[in-house]
């Protein structure tokens, strides 16, 4: 009913714009004119973009899924092995702003197609690298990172432009659910192919075929030019005053600020600053877990005598398969549970979002610490506590995005998202896989080389993740002190 009226009266407090899921209820009647893409076609295009996002994140997590085999093949230490994911994320992080700039100015379909073709080709090529040229393998991971950056930055903007305000949040949520699903399937595919073929190289030969199909679907279904909505258009459509604003040129003049002014304004927005640091702590923990958990479980099983060391033959991949399943399940469940908890609790507490994030970070850190402590004696308990740790981490993904959308004024949201991505990767998952590996390697170097110390070194280095998780909870608690004030400021 709200969508068909022009200027709405203020909704009751519990329905106010407290998040993306509750946003944009006062949409004007002038937004849906000149829609060029039929409704069914919109959903087909969104499905193609979701499918490509699935492949995108499968490629991210193929390496952690067969990390033991890769480590043995190239004869890498823990420190060097951690660098594999760091190279990937650094290239991804540095390339993302460039593709964001290009996507705002040039044909997005061509950039997307080129990105899919490039990263699929490099992934396929990396499966033929000899053990003598490990540096080429590192380089290939960096190039895959650049290819995936072209996709991750541009695809969500096409979905955002295809759908009206009400459906947009739903479609973007579906798009982002493919992140944990793709990540988990990356482990499952890598471990499964290594198991079936007895050769880990085959893990890198399946996603390029899927990428080829995504490229064909992209060419056939996605229109050459999709209708763009500018940030100003979106912001004005919320209050249903596009026509009025068009008659008042002053509205557009006051909205123009330089990039530096936007950054300074965001730096003074404490809700944005603290929630971004909370997200960085989440990224740090998920990056380290995603890279090292299968290896940690394998070393725990050796110490317990459950499995024998894989010195010559292909390594047992059951841990990667199980961890992949956990990642998929907890990812979907966590995102849905977080959005639902936020929707319900916002009605009774205006600070619900950051408090949900803080609580889930504290619980997650506790679960991960318990998982580390019980790993030497009970592997089943370790899996259970890792599952709960991942579940509570996943609760926050949708909620943190919601916080950004209502504490930052619409005309600065693109800049805010770009800065949040940069900071969370730079200080989070770009360094954490390497840091955990480097600490583990340093501990091993100071002690006798044994399977026991191999396990202990990884166990001790992982305690950093529990500590960072607690810090993340603290950052979200600090967010709750400023959130009401910053929300009102953004609405003004």
Q: What is the pLDDT of residues 153-189, one digit of tens each?
A: 788 878 877 877 567 767 877 887 888 889 889 988 9
CATH at residue 350: 1.20.1250.20
Give the residue with greater pLDDT, 297 vs 8. Answer: 297
Q: Is residue 26 part of a domain?
A: no
Nearest to residue 443, comparing CAs of 78, 80, 64? Answer: 78
Does 295 share its domain with 158?
Answer: no
Q: Is residue 246 part of a domain?
A: no
Does 196 share its domain with 280?
Answer: no
pLDDT value of position 225: 64
Does 391 share its domain with 460?
Answer: yes
- pLDDT (mean) for 92-96: 85
Q: Is the pLDDT of residue 12 over 70?
A: no
Instruction: Return the minimum-mean-pLDDT range out of 32-46, 118-132, 437-451, 474-488.
Output: 32-46
Q: Exposed (0-12), middle (13-18) or buried (19+): which is 125, by Cβ within 10 Å?
A: middle
- pLDDT (mean) for 119-135: 89
- For residue 315, the 8-state DSSP code is P
- For residue 24, the 8-state DSSP code is -
CB 440 within 8 A of CB 78: yes
pLDDT value of position 133: 85
Q: Is the pLDDT of residue 218 over 50?
A: yes
Does 208 share its domain with 293?
Answer: no
- pLDDT (mean) for 372-393: 92
Does 209 share its domain with 280?
Answer: no
Of 6-15, 23-32, 275-284, 416-425, highest mean pLDDT: 275-284
Does 186 share its domain with 264?
Answer: no
Q: Is the pLDDT of residue 18 over 60?
A: no
Of the chain, the percentage scoring pLDDT greater than 70 comes to: 83
Does 200 share its domain with 325?
Answer: no
- pLDDT (mean) for 286-306: 88
Does 221 share its domain with 263?
Answer: no
Does 311 share its domain with 448?
Answer: yes
pLDDT value of position 404: 82
Q: Is residue 391 part of a domain?
A: yes
Instruction: Return the minimum-mean-pLDDT range out of 136-150, 228-242, 379-393, 418-432.
Output: 228-242
pLDDT value of position 195: 84
Q: How confident is the model at residue 459 (pLDDT cuts 50, 70, 90)?
A: very high
Domain C-terminal end among 205, 226, 247: 226
Does 222 share its domain with 264?
Answer: no
Q: Exposed (0-12), middle (13-18) or buried (19+): which is 274, by Cβ within 10 Å?
A: buried
Q: What's the rounded Cα separation, in Å, for the pair 2 and 25?
A: 6
Q: Is residue 23 part of a domain?
A: no
pLDDT value of position 163: 78
pLDDT value of position 244: 32
Does 464 share its domain with 371?
Answer: yes
- pLDDT (mean) for 91-116: 84
Q: How confident is the model at residue 1 (pLDDT cuts 50, 70, 90)?
A: very low
Q: Is the pLDDT of residue 254 over 50?
A: no
Q: What's the rounded Cα separation, in Å, for the pair 491 and 408?
A: 9
Q: Is residue 120 part of a domain?
A: yes
- pLDDT (mean) for 91-107: 81
Q: Exposed (0-12), middle (13-18) or buried (19+): which is 325, by Cβ within 10 Å?
A: middle
CB 67 within 8 A of CB 125: no
Give the residue with greater pLDDT, 371 vs 29. Answer: 371
pLDDT value of position 259: 76
Domain C-terminal end among 206, 226, 246: 226
Q: What's the rounded Cα separation, in Å, for the pair 145 and 57?
A: 11
pLDDT value of position 151: 84
Which residues span the domain enclosing 142?
Answer: 38-226
Domain C-terminal end among 181, 205, 226: 226
- pLDDT (mean) for 34-38: 51
Q: Exposed (0-12), middle (13-18) or buried (19+): which is 17, by Cβ within 10 Å?
A: middle
pLDDT value of position 227: 57
Q: Is residue 15 part of a domain?
A: no
Number of domains observed in the structure of the chain:
2
Give the residue with greater pLDDT, 344 vs 104. Answer: 344
Q: Is residue 4 part of a domain?
A: no
Does 82 share its domain with 218?
Answer: yes
Q: Is residue 12 part of a domain?
A: no
Mean pLDDT of the chain: 80
pLDDT value of position 28: 39
Q: Is the pLDDT of residue 210 over 80?
A: yes
């Amino acid at each position: 009913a709200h969508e068909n009226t022009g200027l709405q009266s203020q909704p009751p407090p519990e329905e106010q714009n407290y998040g993306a899921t509750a946003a944009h209820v006062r949409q004007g009647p002038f937004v849906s004119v000149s829609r060029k893409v039929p409704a069914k076609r919109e959903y087909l295009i969104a499905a193609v973009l979701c499918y490509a996002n699935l492949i995108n994140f499968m490629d991210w997590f193929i390496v952690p899924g067969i990390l033991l085999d890769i480590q043995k093949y190239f004869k890498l230490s823990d420190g060097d092995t951690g660098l594999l994911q760091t190279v990937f994320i650094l290239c991804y992080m540095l390339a993302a702003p460039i593709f964001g700039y290009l996507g705002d100015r040039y044909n997005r379909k061509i950039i997307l197609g080129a990105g899919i073709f490039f990263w699929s080709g490099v992934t396929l090529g990396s499966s033929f690298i000899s053990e003598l040229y490990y540096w080429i393998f590192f380089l290939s991971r960096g190039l895959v990172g650049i290819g995936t950056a072209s996709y991750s930055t541009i695809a969500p903007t096409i979905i955002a432009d295809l759908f009206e305000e009400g459906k947009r949040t739903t479609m973007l949520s579906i798009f982002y659910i493919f992140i944990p699903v793709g990540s988990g399937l990356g482990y499952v595919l890598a471990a499964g192919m290594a198991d079936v073929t007895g050769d880990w190289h085959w893990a890198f030969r399946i996603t390029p075929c899927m990428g080829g199909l995504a490229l064909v679907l992209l060419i056939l279904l996605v229109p050459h030019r999709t209708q763009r909505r500018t940030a100003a258009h979106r912001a004005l459509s919320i209050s249903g005053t596009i026509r009025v604003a068009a008659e008042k040129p002053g509205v557009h003049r006051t909205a123009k600020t330089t990039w530096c002014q936007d950054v300074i304004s965001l730096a003074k927005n404490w809700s944005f600053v603290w929630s971004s640091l909370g997200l960085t702590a989440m990224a740090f923990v998920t990056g380290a877990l995603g890279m090292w958990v299968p290896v940690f479980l394998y070393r725990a099983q050796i110490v317990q005598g459950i499995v024998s060391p894989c010195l010559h033959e292909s390594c047992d991949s059951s841990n990667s398969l199980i961890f992949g399943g956990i990642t998929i399940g907890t990812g979907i469940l966590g995102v849905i549970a977080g959005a639902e908890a936020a929707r319900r609790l916002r009605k009774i507490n205006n600070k619900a979002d950051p408090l949900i994030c803080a609580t889930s970070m504290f619980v997650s850190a506790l679960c991960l610490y318990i998982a580390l402590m019980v790993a030497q004696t009970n592997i089943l308990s370790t899996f259970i506590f890792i599952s709960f740790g991942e579940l509570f981490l996943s609760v926050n993904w949708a909620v943190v995005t919601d916080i950004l959308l209502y504490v930052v004024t619409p005309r600065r949201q693109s800049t805010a998202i770009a800065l949040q991505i940069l900071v969370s990767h730079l200080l989070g998952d770009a360094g954490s896989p390497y840091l955990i590996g480097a600490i583990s390697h340093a501990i091993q170097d100071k002690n006798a080389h044994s399977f026991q110390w191999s396990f202990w070194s990884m166990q001790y280095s992982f305690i950093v993740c529990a500590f960072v998780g607690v810090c993340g909870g603290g950052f979200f608690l600090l967010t709750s002190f400023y959130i009401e004030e910053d929300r009102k400021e953004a609405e003004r």
